Chain A
Amino acid sequence: MEQVMGKEKLIYSERGQNRKKEKNAIPSTGYVEHAGFAGFVHNLKTDITRNKVIYIMCIPIVVWYIIFHYIPMAGIMMAFQKYTPALGITGSPWVGLDNFTRFFTGPYFFRLLRNTAMIGVLDVVFGFPAPIIFALLLNEVRTKFFKKTIQTVSYMPYFISMVVVCGLIVDFTQSGGLISNVIAKLTHTSVQNLLADPANYWAIHIASNIWQGMGYGSIIYIAALSGVDQQLYEAAVLDGASRWQRCIHITIPSILPTIMIMLILRMGSLLQVGADKILLLYTPATYETADVISTYIYRCGLQQYDYGFSTAVGLFNSIIGTTFLLVTNAISKKYTESSLF
């Protein structure tokens, strides 16, 4: 790291000398600092001549990003239009904020917002601690073989595709399905199709997320736990700390930075509830609890071809998502010193 820093400094000082020698005149070679737009153009030219191949390699990457990320960002203009594909973005009539008002005053607005927020929040509340607890429990295991086996087995659900996971959910929760039977036995009621009842959707969604992600999510915590200084434990044992005390006062504080970073990451995408799983699991009967913003966008845009409207809903969704990410990041920067950027 130090070496790198030294190197950077060296380059900067070279640039500084150049500037001193040539004063404000733009030199024929080398870079200039603070020379406005002309200076930028000059620097770019110099850089291109020096790193021709790098710039050639840049082209496909930049072009791809423009086409598949920046043009769609420009396509957000559709949100303010009554867009029809035949007329295109340039020809479609502008309607101002009509699409947004239609969404905000529409019958589904609160339902969508509530479902998105609830699924997002519940997923963090239950899904975030699960891998940490699992890693802590695993950390107490001293038999290496047992530990390794449990770890490997616990990653497995992560590698099963979403379609198959949802297929299993559908199969197990149908009336007479295996999970339905277990629930029926536990509650002494006759259970019909669990997935068809809107009251169950959140629980099914979150529980299956935990099932699929817990083992894989614990990887990072297990790695952090293996880095904890063993001398701390030895000292604690000499001081007579119990196992529980060691966990609370050594283990958890040691992995707290990792937990915080993961929490920020998780919070940042809290309201970005993906459409793919819900599209597989929901039915019109469970829209009441299962329909979220992203699935609504899919239905409006790609099934009802209401492009302008669904783009508006999408814009609303990404603005909320981005704001959430920035706010979480700022809060965590202020209080925990760990931040993403």
Chain B
Amino acid sequence: MVVKKTIGDWIFDSLNYLLLAFIAFLCVVPIIHVCFASISEPALVDKASSFILLPLGKPSLNAYKIIMRYKNIWIGYRNTIFYVIMQCLITSVLSVIAGYITSRKRFRYRNALMMFLAFTMLFNGGMIPTYMVVNRLGLLNTRAALLIPQAMGVFYIIIMRTAIQAIPDSLEESARMDGAGELTIMFNIILPLCKATFAVIILFIAVGKWNEWFSALLYLPTARDKYPLQMFMREILISAQNSTNSVTANAGDLMDNAQMYKTLVKYGSIVVSTLPILMIYPFCQKYFVSGVMVGSVKG
């Protein structure tokens, strides 16, 4: 469509481009600031009165050297990776199974089962009764407490079910004729056909798990060795000033002015904890986009 641009169009377009560029700038500027501040000279960062868009002074990795010494970040890293992998395995498999059985037409009570599952979206017991159940099961302060109570979500099941429903029944029937069992049909016939949806679910689970901290606060009250990364991040960034002191205190022998690096250590740990996801998400974008679509179509 070729339309002659009027002066008004020119003005609108340029303003629009500027505005959008400004919005995009606002979206990234905190992260740019954090990245560059973490390699700047600490004294200059503390004095800076605007966002840092280029490293101030002589760039150095001193803050990262201090972070490398701080054991908790790496314990958190290891735990988070474990939680992400396990949760992806558990939740994705269970979602496929639930999506598969609630979409089988020969399963007479499929809709009743779906109602049973979906009712939990409408009404739930709430924080305290769920906590009591987790407590009674003896899961408190175990790694399982971060995995099992989140093992399933109706949202994932609905996404999976919608995708599976779109596959023609004749495929299942012909596989059955050839003597395929239920599990073969599910994993070898159905699952390969909704690979994209499966990938979406795994991505949602992984990102959610990487960023999760609240269930650790609830279910790991004293097990610091099992904390995910975000709980240590909370200590460094929010809880109290003295937690950054404990980070820098570790580095006393490394450099004599370690205390100066408090702000930089904060920023550096943000970079360390956030970078993996920020590196990955642009490449998974299209999956997220399709996931949002499927999810909202079904509500």
Contact = CB atoms under 8 A, between A and B. Distances in A.
Interface of A: 3-4, 7-8, 11, 31, 43-44, 47, 50-51, 53-54, 57-58, 60-62, 64-65, 67-76, 78, 85, 134, 137-138, 140-141, 146, 149-150, 152-157, 159-164, 166-168, 170-172, 178, 181-182, 211, 214-216, 219-220, 223, 230, 233-234, 237, 242-243, 261-262, 265, 275-276, 279-280, 294, 297-298, 301-302, 307, 310-311, 314-315, 317-318, 322, 325, 340-341
10 contacts: A53-B183, A57-B182, A62-B113, A64-B94, A157-B27, A159-B274, A159-B281, A161-B274, A261-B296, A276-B214
Contact of B50 (A44, A150, A181, A230): A181
B34 interface: yes
B174 interface: no
B133 interface: yes
A328 B268 CA distance: 45
Interface residues of B, number: 92
A47 B129 contact: no
B7 to A, nearest CB: 12
Contacts of B292: 216, 219-220, 223
Contact of B101 (A4, A54, A162, A340): A54
B131 A302 contact: yes
A171 B24 contact: no
Interface string B88-116: 00000010011011001111110001001
Contacts of B168: 3
B211 interface: yes
B8 to A, nearest CB: 8
A163 B105 contact: no
Main secondary structure of the interface of A (DSSP, over half): helix
Contacts of B50: 178, 181-182
Interface string B75-96: 0000000000000000000100
Main secondary structure of the interface of B (DSSP, over half): helix
Contact of B27 (A138, A211, A298, A315): A211
B56 interface: no
Given A78-B132, A302-B218, A160 B183 contact: no
Contacts of B285: 152, 155
Contacts of B3: 237
B182 A310 contact: no
A154 B274 CA distance: 16
Candidate in A51, A62, A163 with the most chain B CB atoms within 10 angstroms: A163
Interface string B13-27: 100110111011011
A53 B12 CA distance: 62
